[in-house]
Structure 1
C-alpha cells in the first residue's frame, strides 16, 4: 500500500530542488557538528551522515505527504532560507538546530483533526525509525548486566 502512495507522489521541480538543498546543507551541518571543521574527518563520516539525513528527513517529509494525500490535500516542501543559516551557524557550536523548511498544505481550511494528523505524521515516522534503530542497536550491542561506572 505504501509503495502505491510512493509511486503516486508528485514532486514539483522546485520541491525536489528545495529538498536536495535541505539534505545537502543538513548533511554538512551534522558532519561539522560531529567532527568540527576538519575536512578530512568530515569526508570520512560524510557517507553515513548523508544516508542518515536522507532516510530521516525524507521519511519525515513523506510521512506528512502520505497523510495529506490520504485526505485529498496537496503538500509541497518549501525551503526556509533563514533556517538554513541557523542550521549552519548552530553546527559550528557542536549541535544542529534544523528547521530548514516546511510542508505547505492546500487547501488551508482543514479541520483541526486532519491538520493535526498531517502534522504529526512526520515526527511519528522519525519515532518509528528511532524504535527500529534502537532495536537493531540492542541486538548488536547487548545490554550489560553490570556497569564499570561507580557514582
Structure 2
C-alpha cells in the first residue's frame, strides 16, 4: 500500500496516465508473448497478469524513481503518457512480437537543474530496475525450488524485462537516461551499462524449461 503522503504527490491526471500506460504495456507484452494465433482466454489472462506484475511494475517503479528523485532536489515532476507511442507499442508487438516500450516520460519542471542533478535524476530510473532484479531473482529461485512453473516464469520475465528497460534507457541517445548520465559521471555510466547488458544477455539465454522438463 502506498503511504498517503506519497500518494498525495501523484495528481489525478498522473495516476490516470500511469494506469493507462501500465495496462497498455501489459497488453503489448501479452501480445508479444502469445501472438495473435493462440487466442485462448485463460492463456491471455494468465500472460496479461504476469505482464502487469513484471513489465507493469518495472515501468511504474522506473518512472516514480525519476519523479521522486527530482522532487528530492526541489523540482516538481510528473509522468505524462504518449498515447501515440502506446498504440505503436501494441501494434508492433502484434506484428513483430517485439515490444517498443516508450509509453511516455516523466517531465521535470525547473530551469536551474544542474548537470549533476540531471545525471542523478536520470540514473534513478535504470538503477531502480537493476534493484528490482533482486526480488524477481528470488522469485525465480523459489519457483524452481518448490516446483511451480508460473512462479519461476514471473521471476525470469521480471529479470529479463527490468534488465531490458535498464539497458535500453542507458543508451546515450536523445532523451534517454544514458545521454544525461554519461556526461555527468562516465565511470558510473560504464558500470551501469556493463551490469545491465551482462544481466540482460544472461537472462535472455537462460532456459527456464530445464529445471521443469
The answer, yes or no, to whether TM exceeds 0.5 is yes
- The Cα shift of 1:36 comes to 1.2
Name the residue aligned to 1:36: 35
Task: Report runs of 4+ in structure 1 exceeding 4 Å deviation.
Answer: none
Verify the 8 A CA contact 1:86 1:98 in the aligned structure 2: no
Structure 1: 5+ residue stretches without partners: none
Structure 1 length normalisation: TM-score? 0.81
Q: Give the alignment partner of residue 59 of structure 1, picking from 58, 61, 83.
A: 61
Q: Give the alignment partner of residue 77 of structure 1, picking from 76, 79, 86.
A: 79
Matches within 5 A, 1:79-98: 79-92=81-94, 93-98=96-101
Verify the 8 A CA contact 2:18 2:81 in the aligned structure 1: yes
Verify the 8 A CA contact 1:80 1:101 in the aligned structure 2: yes
Name the residue aligned to 1:119: 122
- The Cα shift of 1:79 comes to 1.1
User: C-alpha deviations, 1:56-84, integer Å up to 9, x for none?
Assistant: 11211121122111101111001112211
Larger RCO: 1 or 2 (CA < 8 Å, sep 6+): 1
Q: Give the alignment partner of residue 131 of structure 1, picking from 129, 134, 144.
A: 134
Name the residue aligned to 2:6: 8
User: C-alpha deviations, 1:105-131, integer Å up to 9, x for none?
Assistant: 011330011011111101111111123
What is the root-mean-square deviation in Å for CA atoms of aligned residues? 2.2
Verify the 8 A CA contact 1:60 1:126 in the aligned structure 2: yes
Secondary structure of residue in 2 paired with 1:78: strand
The change in CA–CA distance for 1:45 and 1:140 in structure 2 (over 3 A counts) is: closer
